[in-house]
Structure formats: C-alpha cells, structure tokens
Amino acid sequence: MNPAAGIPICETAEDTPSGQFRWQDIVGLRWQVPISLQDSNGSFVMNQNTWGLCSTLSDTAGRPIMTVHPTDAVPFRIAGSPVVINNLMPDVAPGSLPVAYGNWNLAYMIVNRRGVTVQNDPFSAGWCNLFRFDCRIGGAPVCPNAARLLRIR
C-alpha cells in the first residue's frame, strides 16, 4: 500500500508501546472508515507475520479476539471481519503500515488494459519453442476514503 495513494492513515493509540499494536488499535481501525462506506465487503489485509501476532492477542478478559471456525469459507476473522493474508504488506515495525482495512470493492479498481497475448519464438531457445506471454494490468484507488492504513508508532 503506497501512502501517496491517498488512503488515510490512522496511528496506534498513545498508550500503545512503541513498535507494537494492541487489539483495540486493530478493531478501532475498522471504525475509522465511514459507516456509509462499510458493508459486508470490508476486510483486513496483512502479512502472515502480522497475522501471527494478531492471533495471540486477547481482550481484557483474556479471551482471544480471533474467531476461527472450520466451517467458514474465510477461516481468519478479527471482530467478525475477514482477514486476507498478503505477504506484500510490511512487517510490524515503527513507522510501518502493516495493517489495512477497507471495503476494497469501493476503494480500489483493477483494470485489465490489454488482454493476454502469446508470442511463439522458435529461434531463441535452440531446439525448444519459447512462448512469451504478455498483458497489461493497472489499478488505482478510486475512493480512498473507503479504506484505512494503520501506522505503528
């Protein structure tokens, strides 16, 4: 997630230790998105290391905030919202943006600018045929207010 894309950035709470986050920061991130832009399509995005930290978080009564149900199509959830594991997100470190939440159907659009083309090259690979595949895909935020990024202090 490029911060220059215009998606608003939320900070961790003042009393959160430096270089860490608490479950209140994660759940609060969801409610920073305007309610008019939230629907059942909202989801968290983080990498597997951040998810590993999240899965050990518990509320003030000691209960884990993660709900994992083997019958769910989406097994990872935080406060009822699905979690998408994307290893292109950064790890938790001071100044990083490791967690995103948003209604990604509204926030971001992916455009297939040119379809897949195939070119057969029988000369470059010796006795083999070399096939070159090419396509052009682009994307950009279309409604940046429908998502939020969490910055670690």
- Asked whether residue 117 is assigned to any structural domain, the reply reads no
CA end-to-end span of the chain: 17
**Strands lying side by side in the sheet with 77-78:** 9-11, 147-151, 99-103, 42-46, 81-85, 77-78
Q: What integer pLDDT is reported at residue 38 of this predicted model?
A: 83
For residue 98, what are the domain limits? 3-108+143-151
- Asked whether residue 33 is assigned to any structural domain, the reply reads yes
Domain containing residue 102: CATH number = 3.30.2320.10
- Asked whether residue 76 is assigned to any structural domain, the reply reads yes
Nearest to 115 by CA among 135, 133, 96, 91: 135
- Asked whether residue 127 is assigned to any structural domain, the reply reads no
- Asked whether residue 132 is assigned to any structural domain, the reply reads no
- Per-residue pLDDT of the chain in tens (153 residues, 90 and over written 9): 666 678 999 999 999 999 999 988 998 999 999 988 987 789 999 999 999 998 888 877 887 777 666 676 667 888 788 899 999 999 999 999 999 999 999 999 999 988 899 999 888 888 888 999 999 999 889 999 999 999 999
Count of domains in the chain? 1
Quick check: 81 and 101 in contact, CB under 8 A?
yes
- Asked whether residue 21 is assigned to any structural domain, the reply reads yes
